[in-house]
Structure 1
Amino acid sequence: MGRIGRISGLLAAISLTLGLSGCGAQYDTTSPRSAREHATADAKHVSLDTSEGGAGAGAVDCAKAKCVALTFDAGPSENTPRLLDILKREHVHASFFMLGKNHIEKHPDLVRRIADEGHELANHTWSHKILTKTDSDEVRSQLSRVQDAVEKLTGRKPLLMRPPQGRTDERVSKISKELGLAQVLWSVTAKDYRTTDSALIKKRVLEQTDRDGIILLHDIYRGTVPAVPGILAELKKRGYTVVTVSRLLAPATAEPGKVYRP
């Protein structure tokens, strides 16, 4: 590769990093595979949890199975009941990174249903503020308000959070750690916020999905939920087991403050 080609490749890599993390923020990430391997080697991190997303006996072992995590951001919404029906029919559990304002507060019944049907409850902030551009007190408020609301409705607090637009940094990580939250980014995005074309959403997901990936979708957009049955059918055909984020990490347990990304 010539000098121009090397420079072009470097710029492309930098652009990808900036696009995901925002503003060139620096932080360390841990892959699901690395988390599992570390937990296996270090017995003190092994979880025997048999609850939501845990590593209990009889559950799928993603060190052996070809797993991919399915996640939904920014709900619940009026589309979520149909999504939950689909997931129940297909015997699939997902991780729901929920917003507080106009979502948790508007659909408390759906938060309870998500919990009751064995899905993973997760935090996407109260009002989708960009945390890296928000002062520390407001970052705490954005996260803790969701924690408190979910605990009030379900009896338990989320262990995972996804920063809006994937933008995080060392300060956000420190506050997340204080609140007992690990951060989860993604490797697959259909950009379903830009299209209502369900066939295109399905195509984009399937083109990007690989083992140990984390799929990002939104249960607030009209085209997304109709794409889910086809996505699940094709993933199954390709030999994937669809799991929650915590199941993907197991036998590791997500560590507060850490940033997980495939």
Structure 2
Amino acid sequence: MPSLPWKMKRPLPGFHAVATISAAVALALPLTGCTTLHTTAPSAARADAEDAALRAGFGAVDCRKAKCIALTFDAGPSEHSARLLDILKEKKVPATFFLLGKRHIEKYPELVRRMAAEGHEVASHTWDHRILTRISPKEIREELRRPDEAIERLTGQKPTLMRPPQGRTDDTVHRIAREEGLAEVLWSVTAKDYQTDDSALITRRVLQQSSRDGIILLHDLYPGTVPAVPGIIDALKERGYVFVTVPQLLAPGKAEPGTVYRP
């Protein structure tokens, strides 16, 4: 098993030791300090799109009509990502990958290329999973720029989306993300797969929370997560859901830099 950043190991003092609290805080308003987090729902992004974009078309899935949901994975690539990509290819399901740079992008460049080549959205989860609200503006910018540059070198495309570690964000992060051309993407469904390797439990948690326009948060670096994915996909398809990437969920709207998206 590859060595993971200390923040990702169990027990993880910088990441998982506060995971239960931070997961709740990340979805609460306000998040940090006196900042009030204003988020944009996918349905609002679609409604705000120009008529010209509607006429031009935006792919096979129209989430204004279809029951869409987005499957997203944080903190990869990892030793489990190749198997995950095999599953997604077999199931014909696109996903959005929020990748870490240090010890991940730099360790598995071929998987980053494969993600992009197979039609998945490749985005950033920062370089070293530092909590952005606790570091200087200069450090925030470095955490955002380094993975973007690495991804662009590997895929030819600069990311337009990022997910702040633990969902922690504030006005300073918004400003720098906007300047770097990045929208922030939070989530509505979490399996807390950092707490368990029980794939059946991970599946149940996702299914209990899923709803239309949902954004599912999973981590493909934990051993219990990837085995849960086929069951999650099959069960949600049976319920009439269509899987899309985050940009497809927003279409015909587009992700606006500096905006925070959450269902």
**TM beyond 0.5:** yes
2:51 alignment partner AA = A
Q: Give the structure-1-normalised TM-score.
A: 0.88
Instruction: Give distance in 2, aligned partners of 1:173 and 1:47.
Output: 31
State the partner residue of 2:27.
Answer: 20
* 2:101 is the alignment partner of 1:92: no
1:56 alignment partner AA = F
User: Where has structure 1 moved over 2 Å in runs of 4 or more?
Assistant: 15-25, 42-48
Question: How big is the shift at 1:43?
Answer: 3.4
Aligned residues of 1:20 and 1:165 also touching (Cα < 8 A): no
State the partner residue of 2:43.
Answer: 33
Question: How big is the shift at 1:17?
Answer: 6.6
Bigger Rg, structure 1 or 2: 1
What is the correspondence of 1:1-262 to structure 2 with a 5 Å cutoff?
Answer: 18-20=25-27, 22-24=31-33, 25-39=35-49, 42-43=50-51, 48=56, 56-57=58-59, 59-262=60-263
Q: Deviations over 1:101-149 (max 9, x none)?
A: 0000000000000011000010100000000111000000000001100
Instruction: Report SS of the residue matched to 1:64.
Output: coil
Uncovered stretches (5+) of structure 1, i.e. residues with no partner: 1-14, 49-54
Aligned residues of 1:47 and 1:251 also touching (Cα < 8 A): no
Aligned residues of 2:32 and 2:170 also touching (Cα < 8 A): no
Uncovered stretches (5+) of structure 2, i.e. residues with no partner: 1-21
Aligned residues of 1:46 and 1:253 also touching (Cα < 8 A): no
Q: CA RMSD in A?
A: 1.7
State the partner residue of 2:12.
Answer: none
Instruction: Give distance in 1, aligned partners of 2:24 and 2:176.
Output: 22
Instruction: Give distance in 1, aligned partners of 2:187 and 2:54.
Output: 23
Percent identical among aligned pairs is: 62
Instruction: Report SS of the residue matched to 1:74.
Output: strand
Aligned residues of 2:197 and 2:223 also touching (Cα < 8 A): yes
